Amino acid sequence: MSATSHKPLVVVLGATGGQGGSVIRALRGNPKYRLRGTTRNVEGTAARELANQGVEVVAAQLDDKASLLRAFRGASIVFAATDFYETMRTSDSWHAMNVEYQRGVNIAEAAVEVPTLQHFIWSTLPSAHKLSQAQFFVPHFEAKAKVDEFIKSKPQLLEKTTFFWVSFFGDNLLKPTFRPLPSGRENHHLLLLPTSPDTRVGFIGDQRTNVGIFISAIIEQRERTLGKYVFGNVETLSWRDYMALWTSVTGKAVQIVEVTAAHYCEMFPNYGMEMISMFFFWNKYPDAAWSGENVLSAVDLGINDKLVGLRESLQALYQ
């Protein structure tokens, strides 16, 4: 048996995606681990690139528990994330929530059956419904949070689990719902939001790098993070302050325009209400939005200086 085969095997679900890809990049140069990444299409360009970099690439479908069991075989560590919006794009938020929940359950059930598993890292979000005392319901939060409860019902998995809350992605600013739009005046843009400019938001910034830094620290500090939540966040700012930073990076002025919920839903028929619920929750519960659990921060993990800051994230996004 080779020396390599004795190294802990890290299995990363969705290795060609945003979060999974970040984890692969963070661990790829670490000689302590073997890496196995899952993808739906092992013949795709991104999968082939991973294989060429020394990552074992295997096929897995989140709807197929048997394929997950095959992918997890021999794993010491599993990183798991699901994509609510993959389903949302072709359906609605309620269907997407139910699909994502079932996929999370499939992953957790498969993980329970892996005898070699030492550490299960689940990328999730807090329950807005619970934290707001049932005032707000954000489907893409609730789907993941319901999986948390399922994991907690399995003591043999919970004792091996770290829950990872990841905040607002930097590249969301490139999406229609959050993209500053040219106003018609030179170097002037408008950002249309269904909430106050003073609504505070947690930003992870460059998730392509920062998610991997967090997960690497979670793995290295396993005993400290087991059974706990880690808040994947670089900085919390109001939209007003974040757009001031955007202006300083891009050299373009931006005005935040608060629009009605009805107007926002007209602009974004499929996504509008989902975003409105999230922003209303953040606006009314700024201090409670990421609370209610035993939470560790970047400072607690000693990685604050390693993370890509928000200014650098914006510079990379618009370079």
Give 10-residue mean pLDDT values along the chain (319 residues).
75 95 95 96 93 95 97 98 92 94 98 98 98 96 98 98 97 94 94 97 97 98 98 98 98 97 93 94 94 96 97 94
Entry pTM: 0.95
- Residue 303 to residues 136, 268, 296, Cα–Cα distance (Å): 33, 37, 11
Q: Are the C-beta atoms of residues 263 and 257 closer than 8 Å to each other? A: no
pLDDT of residue 153: 98
Torsion sign across C-alpha atoms 29, 35, 38, 44: positive
CB atoms within 10 A of CB 176: 9
Strand-pair category, 200-205 with 235-238: antiparallel
Long-range pairs for 59-63 at CB < 8 Å and ≥24 separation?
60/13, 62/13, 62/103, 62/106, 62/107, 63/102, 63/103, 63/106
The owner of tokens 């979670």 is 218
Which residues fall within 8 angstroms of residue 72, CB to CB, at 6 or more apart?
A: 11, 78, 110, 111, 113, 114, 117
Q: What is the pLDDT of residue 214?
A: 99
User: What is the C-alpha R_g of the chain?
Assistant: 20
Domain ranges in the chain are: 9-318
Q: What is the CATH number of domain 9-318?
A: 3.40.50.720
Token pair recorded at residue 307? 């993370």
Give pLDDT tens digits for 188-204: 999 999 999 999 999 99
Grouping H, G, I as helix, E, B as strand and the rest as coil, residue 82 is coil
Phi, psi of 191 (to 5 degrees): -115, 115
pLDDT at 39: 95
Beta strands in 127-252 (DSSP E): 161-166, 168-169, 181-182, 188-193, 200-205, 229-232, 235-238
Q: Which are the contacts of 238, defined by CB distance < 8 A and separation ≥ 6?
A: 197, 198, 199, 200, 201
The one-letter amino acid code at 246 reads W
pLDDT tens digits, residue range 36-72? 999 999 999 999 999 999 999 999 999 999 999 999 9
Beta strands in the chain (DSSP E): 9-12, 34-39, 56-59, 77-80, 119-124, 161-166, 168-169, 181-182, 188-193, 200-205, 229-232, 235-238, 253-258, 295-296
Residue 39 and residue 57: Cα distance in Å, rounded? 7
